[in-house]
Amino acid sequence: SDFLVKGPLSYQESLDNPVSIDINEQLVNSSLNGRAESKDFELLKVLGKGGYGKVFLARKIRGPDQGTIYAMKVLKKASIVRNQKDTAHTKSERNILELIRHPFLVQLHYAFQTPGRLYLILEYLAGGELFMQLEREGVFNEDTARFYLSEIVLALGHLHSQGIVYRDLKPENVLLSVTASVNA
């Protein structure tokens, strides 16, 4: 459902701390750190819940990237396969996440499935949602708004260059990194 845009936690931090369903597991996993399965991850906490599943903060406990923290999106197949449109949407999301590589778009690291669930292992961005940042600050000043919007425009431009139209852009779907680096 979300091809999340990412950016630094705040405009000021970027100035202060510059830093330069039918899942084909082989395609994603072979280009990264090998294959993965659910037992390779320790669930740390729930980050979010939706109609089809949950997103967990998870630590990789085996393999070359052992210790790495990820966002693990776990979808219940039974909920998805009830509706052909949802099935197609889930496949499309996974395929798009595999395709895109851009500094301002969340990266997919692994994708796999069990008989009852689909797993998308995504880059974890600890800064939370742009929506929450806006709630904390109230109103962004012009420089801050320009900063975030420029990164979002670059991310959307990349998606459009790949023939992808993102139709769910809202502050809740824009994730922020903790450091000012968007190349983290």
Percent helix, strand, coil in the chain, to 5, is 35, 25, 40
Question: Using CA atoms, how far apart are residues 10 and 148, in angstroms rounded to an integer?
Answer: 9
**How far are the Cα atoms of 11, 144, 170 from residue 140, in angstroms, in the given order?**
10, 6, 15
Is residue 168 part of the annotated active site? The answer reads: yes
Q: 22, 40, 65, 168: which one is catalytic?
A: 168
- With beta carbons less than 8 A apart as the criterion, state whether 21 and 81 touch: yes
Encoding tokens for residue 84?
Answer: 């052909």
Q: Tell me whether residue 49 is annotated as binding.
A: no
- With beta carbons less than 8 A apart as the criterion, state whether 56 and 71 touch: yes
Which residue numbers are catalytic? 168
Known binding-site residues for ATP equal 73
